[in-house]
Chain A
Amino acid sequence: MSNALKDLLFKMADDALVIGHRNSEWTGIGPMLEEDLAFSSMAQDKIGHAQALYKILNEVLGEADADTLAFKREEKQFKCCQFVEQPIGEYDFSIVRQFLFDHAELIRYDMLTQSSFQPLAQLAKKVKGEIKYHVMHADSFVKQLGNGTEESKARLQSSLNYAWHLALGIFEKSEFENELISKNIFAGEDELKKRWLEKTTPIIEAANLKVPATDESKIIYGGRKGFHSEYLKPLLDEMCEVVRTDIDAEW
């Protein structure tokens, strides 16, 4: 059971760490002061979620400490989906990614409040308020820009089309899927995906946008098994640059 748990925690933690790092790239260059602050704060929240998950891996499941897990693993050991690795692009892509990713996060954590694995259930109860705001933030922007000008609508739709099959990669199953479900640890990626579609579709429609058609053969899988896009390695190199200057330094 601990391998299944570790797999679940690693993929969630790595998603949070990588999207947190990506979103922090908006710090100082956000489209307006208020939004610069908001995106930076939400990036901090995500890093905090990653840290909390690594801490469970360390204290309950016997893995190394959080800093080691975050900064001293190889690219192949990361279990994040390829969606979170993508560069921030223009603001429309970052907002669309936040919208698609955080709706999945909110539902995932909501499902995990019922988990039989207590440390995770407790964490889920603690962080769901934060993610609720991330979703509210993204929803507001998506509705706003989708109902804005021709340009804002077109940009949002094209980002949504581009992001769609990457986003569906969030729900890539692992070999432990059935075990997680049967032991009531997590109700599963299929259930999550179903609820995610139910939540996101009305918002996309309210934003005057079209839900992209899903082509199963185009979904970008691989991240959960350690196969990553060309963007993860440079991100990790940058994130770990300071740590690597003196790998044994005490911080």
Chain B
Amino acid sequence: METLDPRIKRLSLEISTDVEKTNSHLITYEVFHQEKRGKHVMHVGIVHAPNPEMALVMAKEVFGRRGKTTNLWVVKTSDVYTFSLEDEDMFETTPEKHFRDPAYYKVRDRIEKFQNKNRV
């Protein structure tokens, strides 16, 4: 796995003799799929594998078997940080905050325009 970007590890398809450090049991990797260059990389599911190389090998056939694929990412499930389920209430009132949605202002402008026009 070599790359100029230190944040990203790329699996080289050129035959590598590296042997990845292996977990004695299979673990899960989250798989992200990218349809075209420049498009968002979307989470699509998980695969079981002992290391990242094999996770990519598996992900290719499980999630890249139909339609168009330009690349896949795999991330060890245990490397994903997430909120606790009971903290979901943090997000409870967010859907009400229309003022954070750009579309809200367009609608409001239209309503005001209508009101002004019809003011007696």
Q: Show the binding face of A for B, using Cβ within 8 Å.
A: 32-35, 37-38, 41-42, 132-133, 135-137, 139-141, 143-144, 147-148, 199, 202-203, 205-207
Contacts and interface: CB of A to CB of B under 8 A. Distances in A.
Contacts of A132: 13
Nearest to B50: A144
Given A136-B13, A202-B17, A34 B48 contact: yes
B17 A205 contact: yes
Contact of A140 (B48, B54, B61, B65): B54
Interface residues of B, number: 21
B45 to A, nearest CB: 11
A32 B61 CA distance: 13
Given A32-B48, A34-B49, A147 B19 contact: yes
Give me the 6 closest cross-chain CB pairs, A-B, nearest first: A206-B17, A38-B61, A34-B58, A41-B61, A140-B57, A143-B19
Interface SS of chain A: helix, strand, loop or mixed? helix
Nearest to A103: B15
Interface of B: 13, 15-19, 22, 26, 47-51, 53-54, 57-58, 60-62, 65
A37 B22 contact: no
17 contacts: A34-B61, A35-B58, A37-B62, A38-B61, A42-B61, A132-B13, A133-B60, A135-B15, A136-B57, A137-B57, A144-B51, A144-B54, A202-B15, A202-B17, A203-B15, A206-B19, A207-B19
Given A37-B62, A139-B16, A202-B15, 17 more contacts: A32-B48, A33-B48, A34-B48, A38-B57, A38-B61, A38-B62, A41-B61, A41-B65, A136-B57, A139-B15, A141-B54, A143-B17, A143-B19, A144-B54, A147-B19, A203-B17, A206-B19
